[in-house]
A and B are shown apart, each in its own frame.
Chain A
Amino acid sequence: MTLWFVFALMTVAAIFAVLWPLSRSRPAGTGGSEVVVYRDQLAEIDRDMASGIIAAPEAEAARIEISRRLLAAADQSESEGPAKGNLKLRRMAATLALVGLPAIAASFYLTLGSPRLGDFPLAERSRVVDANQPLADLVAQVEAHLEKSPTDGRGWAVLAPVLSRLGRYDDAVRAYRNAITYAGDSADRRADLGEALMGTAGGVVTADAKAEFERAVAQAADNAKANYFLGLAAEQDGRKADAAAIWQGMLAKAPADAPWRPLVQAALVRVGGVAAPALPDGAVAAAKDMSETDRNSMIRGMVDRLATRLKQNGDDVEGWLRLVRAYLVMGERDKAISAQADARQAVAKDAERLRQLNEGLKNLGLDG
């Protein structure tokens, strides 16, 4: 409703602008005229002569010319006669403003405008959409608390998974380590720590992460998460058979209703190992579906994280090569080339690293 009210107000203001001069019976200001200009020019000649800019004969000639123009102008304004009022025309103009203006405005606006759409400024929208906002506040509170009492193991244990979910992997790693130190070691925490480490590496199972998973498995041999990621590590190293063996082992030992079953089966399909035959066809199909859509977005997320990390710290030749390879696999040659250029700049100062990089790039079939 407010909108229409504002429109009405604006329309009234516009109409008023037309009606106002019409309504005044004795209009202010009848305007200037040429006569004024020429009179000023005559005065100017006298001033110029007094200050010595022009000489007397020139001034005289100029005066004659201007006087002639002055007379002509005076004649002109006399012959035109005084201004008249024309009531009929004024009424017509007023009608035009009162009817025509709203009609034009309405016909244009109603065809072009979207009066039912409100504003969507970004600030307002993110307040509605971004459900993470209260979470972030909460995290800040917990962090402030832990700053004061850094030995609160339970606090760290609560905070760590939240940080992980917010994508703050570096902080999550620190939090998990503190949790392990102050709240006790456990297979789950080791596995979570490994996952967070993967997060910092952009989804790659680094040597550090692998060590954590191995520690987790050492504590509890059937820790699902650790086992799954060890399989992934094998897959990333190119040892597909090992990966398949690990995952098949998991499936064999797992209860039939384990929530992670479809994920592992999907992974197994990916590396070419056969999924457990005991399952109905539907589940396999579901897993396949997932492997198409979810996997793509997962990989993309990993690659993006890797790229971000390399931007911050570009010394990692292996990382760069992995990034370039990932882009090539995803069919994004443009990005691969730009990553390659970035890589060269990043390691340009270090001859040894540069050599490694160029060699690696050559192996990837990208050179020059």
Chain B
Amino acid sequence: MIAESGHYALVLALGLALIQSTVPLLGARWRDVALMNVARSTALAQLLFVAASFAALVTLHVTSDFSVVNVYENSHSLKPMIYKITGVWGNHEGSMLLWVSILALFGGLVAAFGNNLPLSLRAHVLAVQAWIASAFYLFILITSNPFLRIANPPIEGRDLNPVLQDIGLAVHPPMLYLGYVGFSISFSFAVAALLEGRIDAAWARWVRPWILMAWIFLTLGIAMGSYWAYYELGWGGWWFWDPVENASLMPWLAGTALLHSALVMEKRNALKVWTILLSILTFSLSLLGTFLVRSGVLTSVHAFATDPRRGVFILLILFIFIGGSFSLYAWRAPSLKQGGLFAPISREGALVLNNLLLTTACATVFIGTLYPLALEVLTGEKISVGAPFFNFTFAPLFVPLLLAVPFGPLLAWKRGDLLGAAQRLTVAGIVSLVVIALVWAWTYGGATLAPLAIGLAVFVIAGALCDLAERVGLFRIPLSISLRRARGLPRATWGTVFAHAGLGVALIGIVCETTWNSEYIGEMKANDVAAVASYQLRLDGLTQRQGPNFREMVAQFTVSRDGEKVALMTPSKRNFTTRGASTTEAALLTRGASQLYISLGDTAADGSIAVRIYHKPLVLLIWWGPVLMAFGGLLSLSDRRLRVGAPKPAKAAARALQAAE
């Protein structure tokens, strides 16, 4: 009964979504309040039914009801409870159900907390949201139904891919989906604005919290996914430029641009048409990501789906939504009113530059990801575009972006003073030069680019702090007043500081890990000692252990430094009996922000074992950076105050303007 009720709830959600996608539009057209309010109640009811459906699937997985095909194929009665639950979205059908659940969640949130929106805008937004939902409900019900049954249930399930039996899987896809799907709200807002033919600063004010929320989740989701790959795949890599990773990076880049352009729109009523375009683009890229991952056009460890029917269906959804929204844009955008004016050198100008670089970077990732697919479809030739491509194209675009980051917040709205901003950044510049010199001297004869990159990262961090110091008047006025000002600063300002500093922190981690990473690969026997960086690692021995649904061989290493014992590390190799597959469980030892990393290979004839040991200096900064950025986003989100971008009056800025022109 649970399975069938869940199935029926999903069908009802489709019915509600169909009503929600039509009736409120009619209501908005005829200005009927009751009809427009249907959007709200149906969105909430839809959320209720999808949540019930998802809860039903979770229950089925937990109780190991193998009469449900999805449970039979992806679960096993011996699987630990936590993986029974995470297994729900570790497969195609379940993850699509999670996708629509999150879509319904966002729709429900707009319905519940959108009281400050004009009725017709809310009706439009929810209707567009329901179009997306209807399309995906149909997709799930027709091509990937998680509630199909087997009349004669087998005794035992077929287990989940062992690589996916990991706690990283519990949190990383839902986070990513919250990000991906969160951008559906800004998409719906954009399409609603185009339908209504009206857009202004207030629109940006209403949509910005949703963009910010989606962006926070996506940032955390990408960081988690990267950390998961780092410790689960056993290669010690944290970013592979894998198409699946690129699929999540593209919406992030576009979403970051959107976040900044919406800021301009909210405060200065400018860049309106561009912001609408970015909203559509960001969600289109999210849909594209869903297509790439879910259709199985790519084959990597993430792509569990291999049914062409699904691919064609998602492709159809993709064409309808992306094509439809861009056509609507081309048709309606020229009629939208032009926004405010600004000089090229100004806060707005800086944000335009940010948008330009971010979208261009996004475009290069797009080309690198889709070019091989397109080439294969057109000519049949198979190529792979690997990390070098992205390093050559992505890095040169990010360097000017990072250089410009500290300047942005220091420029005034409407017309800014580049020289003044540069003066205020002198301290940051000096600090970064000193750091470059120090790092260069310390690693004399080593990599030449690395000290420069670290200097750039320090410049970004110091620049963010300079901005803060400037705002509170640190050292110019008494400290007590500065402190009071700091308290009085809008939380959004603090958010900017944290997010920008996070960028620098992540860059330091990336540079240190890639440049000064040391490794040892070799065969070891019991009591052999390997020296990596300043550590000595002794293999104490190998033991066998029986886990709940796997058997593992555990190696024990004693880590010492200068003859002093530091810790024990126990990497292992697991053998999953049901699928006959094995996974490598790397052992990590965290020392400050640096890590030692051990993963095991095969056993050789003489009883020795292949071992891979890495020392990764400051590697954790790679993930602390995004966490800082997300924290900054959270601060900004919690800022309930309305921000105004006070323009610099022409008189006071005349001198600056001359200098700039």
B302 CB within 8 Å of chain A: no
- B38–A93 touching, CB < 8 Å: yes
B642 CB within 8 Å of chain A: yes
- B553–A345 touching, CB < 8 Å: yes
B298 CB within 8 Å of chain A: no
- A32–B118 touching, CB < 8 Å: yes
Beta-carbon nearest neighbor of B553 in chain A:
A345
Determine the chain A residues whose CB is within 8 A of the CB of B541 once the complex forms.
349
Determine the chain B residues whose CB is within 8 A of the CB of A341 once the complex forms.
602-603
- A105–B33 touching, CB < 8 Å: no
- A13–B45 touching, CB < 8 Å: yes
- B30–A89 touching, CB < 8 Å: yes
B606 CB within 8 Å of chain A: yes
Distance, CA A129 to CA B609, complexed state (A): 45
B340 CB within 8 Å of chain A: yes
B44 CB within 8 Å of chain A: yes
- A86–B35 touching, CB < 8 Å: yes
Determine the chain A residues whose CB is within 8 A of the CB of B122 once the complex forms.
31
Tell me whether A113 and B7 are in contact in the complex, defined as CB-CB below 8 angstroms, given that A51-B488, A73-B202 are known contacts.
yes
Q: Which of B66, B119, B141, B652 is within 8 Å of A112, CB to CB?
A: B141
Q: Which of B31, B149, B602 is within 8 Å of A83, CB to CB?
A: B31
- B38–A7 touching, CB < 8 Å: no
Q: Which of B38, B64, B652 is within 8 Å of A18, CB to CB?
A: B38
Determine the chain A residues whose CB is within 8 A of the CB of B15 once the complex forms.
14, 100-101, 104-105
0 or 1 for each of B113-150: is its CB under 8 Å from A? (1 = yes): 00111111110000000000000000001000101110
Interface on chain A toward B: helix, strand, loop, or mixed SS? helix
A65 CB within 8 Å of chain B: yes
Distance, CA A54 to CA B493, complexed state (A): 14
- A58–B648 touching, CB < 8 Å: yes
Tell me whether A62 and B30 are in contact in the complex, defined as CB-CB below 8 angstroms, given that A31-B117, A101-B15, A341-B603 are known contacts.
no
Max chain A CB contacts within 10 Å: which of B32, B63, B122? B32
A318-368 at interface with B (beta carbon < 8 Å): 334, 338, 341-342, 344-349, 354, 358, 367-368
A25 to B: closest C-beta gap in Å: 9
- B269–A10 touching, CB < 8 Å: no
Interface hit among B19-27, B177-185, B456-464, B588-596:
B19-27
Q: Which of A119, A123, A314 is within 8 Å of B544, CB to CB?
A: A314
Q: How many A-B residue pairs have CB under 8 A?
A: 262
Beta-carbon nearest neighbor of B38 in chain A:
A21
0 or 1 for each of A117-135: is its CB under 8 Å from B? (1 = yes): 1111111010001000000
- B646–A97 touching, CB < 8 Å: no
B172-228 at interface with A (beta carbon < 8 Å): 198, 200-202, 205-206
0 or 1 for each of B408-450: is its CB under 8 Å from A? (1 = yes): 0000000000000000000000000000000000000000000
Q: Which of B12, B607, B609, B652 is within 8 Å of A10, CB to CB?
A: B12
0 or 1 for each of A289-332: is its CB under 8 Å from B? (1 = yes): 00000000000000000000001001000000000000000000
B526 CB within 8 Å of chain A: yes
- B63–A108 touching, CB < 8 Å: no
A45-64 at interface with B (beta carbon < 8 Å): 45, 47-48, 51-54, 57-62
0 or 1 for each of B149-175: is its CB under 8 Å from A? (1 = yes): 101010100000000000000000000
0 or 1 for each of B528-566: is its CB under 8 Å from A? (1 = yes): 000000000000011010100001010000000000000
6 tightest A-B CB contacts, nearest first: A348-B607, A17-B45, A121-B63, A31-B119, A32-B116, A122-B64
Q: List 28 A-B contacts (CB under 8 A).
A: A7-B8, A14-B45, A18-B19, A29-B115, A31-B118, A32-B116, A34-B202, A37-B116, A37-B201, A38-B202, A58-B646, A58-B649, A61-B648, A65-B269, A81-B31, A85-B34, A90-B32, A101-B15, A104-B11, A104-B15, A105-B12, A119-B65, A120-B153, A123-B63, A123-B64, A311-B544, A347-B607, A349-B607
